[in-house]
């Protein structure tokens, strides 16, 4: 495919599935306008809708120690969301899942926010030996989404804790304003436990006895329908402007920036900004900035200028590479092999992909 870039955002043909209309506008922009924008309410109407939702949360939480639970990473999205819902009268329990890659800045952000908002903090530490083994297995598998071991553990631990403790409402910092664009070709669903176990059976070396997982049945049926667990995304109902949120968090909590979206994890920073671009040519930064363009938080020219700036300052990349190789107990030549080995996709391993597609089709028919 000849290189081409969207005339509206900055997505380009590094997404092998991208398409353009006769004006040169990509399918990601069209999807945002047609599917996501109608669900995104960063206005007075959205605020009213959110107030009604949170009133239900507050009412059902009466007499309980907590009315909801928040997964807090120390990043801007979850931090700002936590701040806003506390201002709106919720009493959340905060849960932080430590997958072994926390930056010091992220840890300080979590502690500062909880201390100043007077929130109880529950920390779940993933068994490091099992996490390390699973991450090395994913590197050996050759797939693009190397963040699955972290992401799956984060959500599995959070959801299981909420259900065990009778907390129905789980609040997420996920939002359309900063995450409206992300090509499906660049990765695969982190919640597919069948895929995770398939890769680990083939490339792992020790049993996963303590690593938290969520099954297909739990994720799609038991948690939402039997346990009535509901995931809420408040930022979709608020005028969430990322740079303004950063300034407010800095002013109110001494919150520190950690370098980029999802860079609260040292592994994720290295994976997103070095491993993934070098191995596959995929730059998640491009999708993150494109999201800000379509949501009106940044101009296309500003996004292009940001893409031209280096993510790593002099010496930082080498330090991160050395740290990750050592922590995973690899050799530098192992990492080079992972960077140059043949590409694989989720289709090369067992997964629940077919079941998920069938379920989505059935849900669509029911809605219609």
| Residue 62 to residue 90: CA distance in whole angstroms | 11
Residues recorded for the chain: 368
Cα separation of 232 and 164, whole Å?
A: 19
Cα–chain center distance at 21: 29
Task: Please indicate whether residue 275 or residue 263 has the higher confidence score (pLDDT).
Answer: 275
CA dist list (Å): 352 to 17, 200, 266, 359: 21, 15, 29, 11
pLDDT of 348 above 90: yes
256 pLDDT exceeds 90?
no
- Assess contact for 236 and 46: CB atoms under 8 A: yes
pLDDT in tens, 92-146: 999 999 999 988 888 899 999 999 999 999 999 999 999 999 999 999 999 999 9
Q: How confident is the model at residue 363 (pLDDT cuts 50, 70, 90)?
A: confident
On the 0-12 / 13-18 / 19+ scale of CB atoms within 10 A, 359 is middle
Given a contact cutoff of 8 angstroms between Cβ atoms, the answer to whether 117 and 257 are in contact is no
Take residue 340 and report the two structure tokens written for it. 């140059």
Residue 263: alpha-carbon gap to chain centroid: 11
Mean pLDDT of 180-202: 96
Considering only CA atoms, which of 275, 255, 270 is closest in space to residue 75? 255
| Assigned token pair, 48 | 């009213």
Rounded CA separation 61/36 (Å): 30
Query: Is pLDDT above 70 for 1?
Result: no
Side-chain half-sphere of 217: how many Cα atoms within 13 Å?
A: 1
Over residues 7-38, the pLDDT tens digits come to 999 999 999 999 999 999 999 999 999 999 99
Span 169-197, average pLDDT? 95
């Amino acid at each position: 495919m000849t290189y081409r870039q969207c005339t509206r955002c900055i997505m380009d043909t590094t997404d092998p599935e991208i398409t353009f209309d006769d004006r040169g506008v990509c399918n990601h922009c069209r999807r945002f306008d047609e599917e996501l924008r109608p669900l995104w309410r960063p206005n007075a109407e959205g605020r009213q809708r959110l107030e009604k939702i949170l009133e239900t949360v507050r009412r059902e939480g009466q007499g309980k120690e907590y009315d909801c639970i928040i997964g807090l990473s120390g990043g801007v999205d979850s931090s700002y969301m936590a701040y806003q819902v506390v201002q709106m009268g919720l009493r959340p329990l905060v849960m932080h899942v430590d997958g072994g890659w926390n930056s010091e800045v992220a840890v300080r952000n979590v502690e500062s926010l909880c201390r100043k908002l007077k929130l109880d903090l529950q920390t779940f530490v993933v068994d490091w030996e099992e996490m390390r083994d699973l991450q090395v297995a994913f590197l050996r598998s050759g797939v693009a989404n190397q963040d699955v071991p972290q992401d799956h553990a984060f959500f599995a631990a959070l959801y299981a804790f909420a259900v065990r403790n009778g907390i129905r409402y789980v609040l997420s910092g996920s939002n359309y304003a900063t995450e409206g664009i992300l090509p499906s070709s660049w990765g695969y669903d982190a919640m597919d436990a069948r895929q995770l176990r398939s890769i680990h059976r083939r490339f792992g070396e020790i049993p996963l006895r303590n690593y938290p997982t969520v099954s297909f049945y739990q994720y799609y049926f038991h948690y939402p329908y039997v346990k009535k667990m509901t995931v809420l995304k408040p930022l979709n109902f608020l005028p969430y402007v990322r740079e303004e949120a950063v300034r407010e968090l800095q002013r109110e909590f001494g919150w520190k920036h950690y370098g980029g979206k999802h860079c609260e994890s040292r592994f994720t920073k290295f994976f997103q900004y070095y491993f993934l671009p070098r191995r596959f040519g995929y730059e998640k930064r491009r999708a993150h900035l494109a999201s800000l363009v379509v949501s009106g938080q940044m101009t296309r020219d500003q996004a292009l200028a940001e893409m031209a700036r280096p993510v790593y300052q002099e010496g930082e990349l080498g330090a991160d590479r050395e740290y990750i190789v050592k922590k995973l107990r690899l050799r530098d030549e192992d990492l080079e092999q992972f960077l140059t080995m043949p590409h694989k996709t989720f289709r090369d391993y067992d997964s629940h992909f077919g079941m998920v597609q069938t379920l989505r089709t059935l849900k669509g028919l029911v809605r219609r």
